[in-house]
């Protein structure tokens, strides 16, 4: 069972605008459970492109682990940049929007170069302004063990 472990780091500023490191516990509480991720086209969707000698683009960034999200998501602009095709339309709910239309994309997430998971129907939403490119939702987490260790400021994810 592959396992990815991370202890979060963060910086803050003092009243006189000097940057300082904050404890991992504060970084986890402020940022939420974030993990490094690489995003690309889902493996089955990529096969025809690769068989024709084409290339599949990927991008690194951070993903938020969100136990409140029923489906995983990719930043809409990133999906367009990576030329990931829209495969369907869906609707998403959030704290501020109900039945908001969204595109659905076939993607692959590689979490910390340790865990690779196929996500055949990831929602396309605006995420980059929040500092991440993807959301890991319950569609992935249903097959995982997630340990949120607030006291240590760390996360462990096993699949």
- pLDDT of 145: 97
* CB-based contact 107:56 (threshold 8 Å): no
Q: What are phi and psi of 13, to 5 degrees?
A: -125, 145
Residues 6+ apart with CB under 8 A from 37: 60, 61, 62, 63, 109, 110, 111, 112, 133, 134, 136
- pLDDT of 27: 94
- pLDDT of 1: 84
Cβ burial of 132 (10 Å; 0-12, 13-18, 19+) is: buried
The SS3 assignment for 87 reads coil
Q: Among 3-7, 10-14, 81-85, 116-120, where is mean pLDDT lowest?
A: 10-14
Percent of the chain scored above 70 by pLDDT? Answer: 97
Cα three-residue angle 66-29-58, rounded to 5 degrees: 45
**What does the pLDDT look like over 116-159, one tens digit per residue?**
999 999 999 999 999 999 999 999 999 999 999 999 999 999 99
Percent of the chain scored above 90 by pLDDT? Answer: 81
**What does the pLDDT look like over 64-115, one tens digit per residue?**
999 999 999 999 999 999 999 999 998 877 666 777 889 999 999 999 999 9
Whole-model pTM: value is 0.90
- pLDDT of 98: 76
CATH of domain 33-144: 2.40.70.10
Q: In DSSP terms, which residues pair with 134 in a beta bridge?
A: 63, 74
Closest of 38, 14, 10 to residue 26, by C-alpha: 10
């Amino acid at each position: 069972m592959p396992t990815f472990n991370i202890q979060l780091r963060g910086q803050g500023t003092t009243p006189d605008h000097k940057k300082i490191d904050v404890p991992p516990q504060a970084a986890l509480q402020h940022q939420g459970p974030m993990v490094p991720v690489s995003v690309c086209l889902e493996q089955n969707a990529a096969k025809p492109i690769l068989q024709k000698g084409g290339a599949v683009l990927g991008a690194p960034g951070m993903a938020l682990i969100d136990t409140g999200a029923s489906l995983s998501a990719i930043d809409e602009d990133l999906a367009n940049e990576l030329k990931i095709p829209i495969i369907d339309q869906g609707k998403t709910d959030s704290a501020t929007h109900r039945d908001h239309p969204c595109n659905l994309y076939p993607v692959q997430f590689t979490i910390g170069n340790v865990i690779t998971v196929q996500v055949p129907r990831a929602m396309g939403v605006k995420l980059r302004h929040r500092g991440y490119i993807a959301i890991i939702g319950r569609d992935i987490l249903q097959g995982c063990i997630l340990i949120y260790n607030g006291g240590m400021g760390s996360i462990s994810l096993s699949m």
